[in-house]
Amino acid sequence: MAASEGLAIGALARRTGLAVSAIRYYEAQGLISPWRNAGGQRRYQRADIRRLSFVMIAQQFGLTLPEIREVLSGLPGNRTPTPQDWKDISVTLRAHLDQRIDTLVRLRDNLDGCIGCGCLSLPKCALYNPDDRAKSNGSGPRYLMGDSPEA
């Protein structure tokens, strides 16, 4: 009834642009924790709009949901996060983004020297970086290995 009862999931979905099913999924992944009303329906705080916005931004930055959950754990649990709280955890986000950009820039800098020369001999190039690739996917060994230029 009153506004103090919190937001229903549909209202939160409209405010964030997320699908209702996505919000439930995020809950299952531990990214958001609504309470339940007498009828068993989810109710959200207004601050959860901001929380989900943060999740969406972090996803654009390339973080996985577990990573985002980790970053969000930096928020205070006992009170509604303040603007300063959000600033604080955005530092972590910025670090992730910086690293991602650095990696791509490094790749780009090597492009002309490696593919550009036509040899594609990766082990001899700085492109070969197992650490970068390890994050790509949990399944299967993926590492770069080139050949001698005669191929």
Binding site for its own copies (CB under 8 A): 15-19, 22, 46-47, 49-50, 53-54, 56-57, 59-61, 82-87, 90, 93-94, 97-98, 100-101, 104-105, 107-108, 111-112, 114-120, 122, 127, 132-133, 136, 140-147, 150-151
C-alpha 145/C-alpha 151 separation (Å) is 13
The option from its own copies, DNA, none interacting with 38 (CB < 5 to 8 A, set by class) reads DNA
Residue in this structure with the two tokens 């790509």, named with its chain if needed: 136
DSSP lists the bridge partners of residue 36 as 42
Say which amino acid occupies 46: R
Q: In angstroms, rounded to a whole number, what is the distance separating the alpha carbons of residues 66 and 5?
A: 29
In the list DNA, its own copies, none, the entry touching 37 (Cβ below 5 to 8 angstroms by class) is DNA
Nearer to DNA, 37 or 80 (CB): 37
Residue closer to its own copies (CB basis): 37 or 115: 115
Compute the distance between CA of residue 96 and CA of residue 90 in angstroms, rounded to an integer.
10
Q: Are 43 and 6 in contact (CB under 8 A)?
A: yes
Instruction: Indicate which of DNA, its own copies, none lies near residue 92 (CB less than 5 to 8 Å, by partner kind).
Output: none
